[in-house]
Structure 1
Amino acid sequence: MAAMIAVVVALAAPAGFFWLSYRAEAKEAVVAARLHAAFVTQVASTSDDWRRDVPILIESNLTPSELPEVRYIRDASGMEIAHSGRPLSAPTISGSAVVAGREGPVGTVIVTRSMKPVVLSTLLVAALGAAFGMAIYGTLRVLPLRALRRTLEALHQEEINAREETEERLRIVFENSIEGIITLRKNG
């Protein structure tokens, strides 16, 4: 039982952390793609040749922050028009948004983020969870044994006290008896 509780505690923390971080990164990638797509849509709807003007946009103020991410702009056929940064190694997560032009959807903005920082943070949380799980396991294994030892010691002391009290009463009876005392056994 102690091992099962410790394993649940050790696994729940990193699993929950990863799940929450993954969802947050997925939402942030989609939001970043939508924001970037809004800027690209402005260029695409006003430009005669948006494919020529958009690469300048990705190089300017829309370059990603310190986060390990790559932004791609693709036309409606899927051909890459521009990208920022180097391709990322797995694990990654992506979010995309449609770029609209005068004639409707003309392309897509894709924001791809590396999940390595999340995985590394999850490993750190897993290490802390494992330490916490071991502490819980040790506590659940040691404390009941201590309580059992204390209970046994208390019972042993109570037995000694009861024996001494009985012996004292019998000694008083023997010292104060005027007549003889007969002791009998079951077998005669």
Structure 2
Amino acid sequence: MHDSLEADPFRRDIIALIPRLRAYAMSLARSDVEADDLVQETLMKAWRARASFQPGTNLQAWLFTILRNAFLSETVVRNRTTQDVDGRHAAQLASGPNQEWRLRYGEMLGALHQLRPHAREALLLVAASGMSYEEAARICNCPVNTMKSRVKRARASLAGMIGFELAGDVHAGAED
């Protein structure tokens, strides 16, 4: 197996990016099952289209773009019925944890999911995935300044929702 990975750098590099793909998929899909399906779909599409990938370009950005497009396509055709495959909705009916950090984490996740999709996506690409504004802008097909603005407003909105004061008293503006 080791030799086959060395012989195929494309395969090796894709495998190394799976954790980042899954984190991004989780931010979009909001469930383990949907995120895993989205990553699997992304990997299959990437493998089928590997001839169109240009070595030396940004593989992570290419994969994130495939993942994002797969998610958007699925969202357009998705049946609007509520499925509780992983028990997420049922878990909301249970009493919450009493540890302060767990409550704050849950509050932050809830607030994150209340952000507009463009804002949430921008914040997660830049802040959580560690991408540059330029990489995130390419993935989202928008200007770099738009990406910077989305991230700034998303941070301010998120901070306001969870009662965290940002340095410089940043206020959330209208979304684009």
For CA contacts below 8 A with separation 6 or more, give which structure has more relative contact order.
Answer: 1
Work out whether the TM-score is over 0.5: no
**What TM-score range do you get, normalising by the shorter chain?**
under 0.3
TM-score of the aligned structures, taking structure 2 as reference length? 0.25
Q: In terms of Rg, which structure is larger?
A: 1
